[in-house]
Amino acid sequence: MSDIGYTATITLNDNSIVKGEIVNVDEESGIMILRQKAKFDHTKRSYTFVNLDSINNVNKENKTEEFSTSDIPPITSDLIGDVMQNEGEILRNQQIKELKIGLNVSLEAQQIFNALDKTYPCSWDNTDIVVYQICKISEPYTIDDISGERKQAIERMKKVLQAERKKLKLKN
């Protein structure tokens, strides 16, 4: 491909930027490999694998004069599998993080959610915080706003919520 050997600034679909020397583009696997000098040891190189579908723009800057592919790892089916698996894990982790952000909730509500989620698995049900799929904490997220069917779990959650609100310096 004609881009190989060029130094480039690549803008991804999420507007992040990757810079490096294009050392390989494999249309079949949908992967571009960029080589960069290591941050602290310029005698070493690091490689970034970019999914071609995630590229928004490629700005070629200049062709590297002493371009060599001797130290470039070959693209194998194992490597493609590893890259795809890593990409899948990153996407799943991002989706999990996004589910932890409440929509149309106050900063206080998000702070309470984040505090509880460190110890208990929490999720959002609209603006309600669901803890362990057993208790639900509704606005304004005080101990009087906890509901559920298991009395013992509710009593425990009242103590935990009261302690977290105190740590966050929120009024009970």
Give the containing element (helix H, strand E) for 9.
strand 6-12
Question: Residue 131's pLDDT band (boundaries 50, 70, 90)?
Answer: very high
pLDDT tens figures, 27-57: 888 889 888 887 777 677 788 889 999 999 9
- How does DSSP classify residue 34? E
Closest-CA residue to 49 (of 67, 63, 36): 36
State if pTM tops 0.75: no
